[in-house]
Amino acid sequence: MFLALRELWYARVRFGLMGGVVALISILTVMLSGLSSGLVDDGVSGLRALPVDAFAFAHGTKTDSAFTRSTIDTAQVAAWRSRPDVADAAPFGNTLVNAKTGGGVAVDFALFGVDPQSFLAPDPAQGARLDRPDGIVVSATALDKGARLGDTVVIDRLGTTLTIVGVTAGKQTFGHVDVAYVPLHTWQQIHAGVKPGEQVREQAYREASAVALRARPGATVDLAAGDAAADTTAMTRTASYDASPGFSAEMATMSLIKVFLYAISALVVGAFFLVWTIQRAGELAVLRAIGAPTRFLLADGLTQAVVVLVGATAVGVLIAVGGSRFIHGMPFTLDPAAIATGAGLLVLLGVLGAAAAIVRVTRIDPLAALGANR
């Protein structure tokens, strides 16, 4: 231990450069973690805010963009509601729309159609609940884009006019678009493409995108049995996240980038300690010649690796967390658990890479220190 720390001090420039590289990699790790968490929030925070355990879609609906492809009817809602393990089931509408506020500000919304009397109805932090047919409760982030409590919102191409009566407590988005809750009856008219004053076909009022399910306390919904009874394809709320447009592709891309980043960090650290071990071959041979055990030499090298990795990673994380305050205009969320996991993996893989290089000391011939190979 003493020898390892002493070498760290006398070769501080070399180790400092190596630590700088590790710190830069850890900064990139935190940034990627923040972007991943931000993309998750931007894609499915609206679904996570719903008091739902599962969703049931039309039979055979594929997971990708299921909310936009599925259509269920009131009979399927009733079939799920009669299940013994389901506390409540309610029709749920989901569609993306373009609109303009009364002030001419263009806004996009993921319209969530809910029965105002159901468990899906939002509890706004500002304003009123959905107690009027033309009312709309918007995500708090919509206020940052020009919407205001009391503003009117006109749906493009239809001309349907809605009034913002409430604002949710925090950010709620779906597919990177702000969520807006509307009464299910109104959502059905918009989804059917009916303009104000036009006749609405009766079937439109019996349709929705999915059945929202809430399990009884202490119970788990038997999705397979419910699907058989209602002729649907059900999935847990977490599984339904993949139905958010582009969500699965975004997560797969970010995960692949992280894998390459961790692999690069292990290779960089391993290469550094391989070169460092080769340069110290003479000194290590002397230590072997005077009786130093192999485990001492291995511990010596690994101590240096751990000190450099832990110290540099900590510095990089602190810099990244501090710098994140200046990131605006993009989905970025710092998750302490994700940051800790990323930093831990960076240190672990770095130590493994260093260990693969340092194991070379077990093959150093003590006679080399005495000149026997000359």
Q: What is the pLDDT of residues 43-60, one digit of tens each?
A: 899 999 999 999 999 998
Over residues 145-200, the pLDDT tens digits come to 888 999 999 999 999 999 999 999 989 999 899 999 999 999 999 999 998 888 88
What average pLDDT does this structure show over 115-135?
94
Whether residue 259 sits in one domain with residue 188: no
Confidence band (pLDDT; 50, 70, 90) for 293? confident
What is the per-residue pLDDT for 371?
61
User: Mean pLDDT, the chain, as a whole number?
Assistant: 88
Place of tokens 């709309």: 136
Structural domain harbouring 158: 51-236
- How far, in Å, CA of 20 to CA of 12, rounded? 12
| Residue 265: predicted pLDDT | 84
Bridge-partner residues for 215, per DSSP? 86
pLDDT tens digits, 61-96: 877 778 888 999 999 999 999 999 999 999 999 999
Let me know if 267 is exposed, middle or buried by CB neighbors in 10 A (0-12, 13-18, 19+): middle
Token digits for 348?
């672990």
**Does 86 share its domain with 222?**
yes
Region 100-128 average pLDDT:
93
- Residues 6 or more apart in contact with residue 142 via CB below 8 angstroms: 107, 109, 167, 178, 180
In a domain, residue 242? The reply is no
**pLDDT score, position 2:** 59
**pLDDT at residue number 222:** 95
Percent of the chain with pLDDT over 90: 51
**322 domain-assigned:** yes
Let me know whether 228 and 254 are in one domain: no
**214 and 79 in one domain?**
yes
Residue 340's SS3 state is: helix
Contact 24, 320 (CB under 8 A): no
Q: Which two tokens stand for residue 322?
A: 């501090």
Please, which residues bridge with residue 72 across strands?
Answer: 208
243 belongs to a structural domain: no
Residue 350 CB contacts under 8 Å (≥ 6 apart), including other chains: 22, 265, 266, 269, 305, 309
pLDDT at 1: 56
164 and 92 share a domain?
yes
- 351 or 10: whose pLDDT is higher? 351
Residue 166 carries which side chain, given as an amino acid letter? Answer: G
Residue with tokens 């260990």: 355
- Percent helix, strand and coil across the chain, each rounded to 5? 55, 20, 30
Confidence at residue 244, expressed as pLDDT on a 0 to 100 scale = 83
d(CA 131, CA 24): 53
Judged by phi (left if over 0) then psi (alpha if -120 to 50, else beta), residue 348 lies in alpha
| 229 plus 298 within the same structural domain | no
How would residue 357 be classed by pLDDT, with cut points 50, 70 and 90? Answer: confident
- Residues 130 and 103 grouped into a single domain: yes
Q: Are 44 and 241 in contact (CB under 8 A)?
A: yes
What's the mean pLDDT in 359-372?
66
Q: Tell me whether residue 232 is exposed, middle or buried, using C-beta atoms within 10 angstroms of its C-beta: 0 to 12, 13 to 18, 19 or more.
A: buried
- Has residue 125 been placed in a domain? yes
Threshold 0.85, pTM exceeds: no
Q: Mark whether 87 and 220 lie in a shared domain.
A: yes
For residues 226 and 158, membership in a common domain is answered with yes
The pLDDT > 70 percentage for the chain reads 95
pLDDT at position 208 over 70 = yes
Residue with tokens 């630590």: 19
- Confidence band for 139, pLDDT divided at 50, 70 and 90: very high
CA pair distance 257, 263, nearest whole angstrom:
10
Neighbour-count burial of 3, counting CB atoms closer than 10 A to its CB (0-12 exposed, 13-18 middle, 19+ buried) = middle
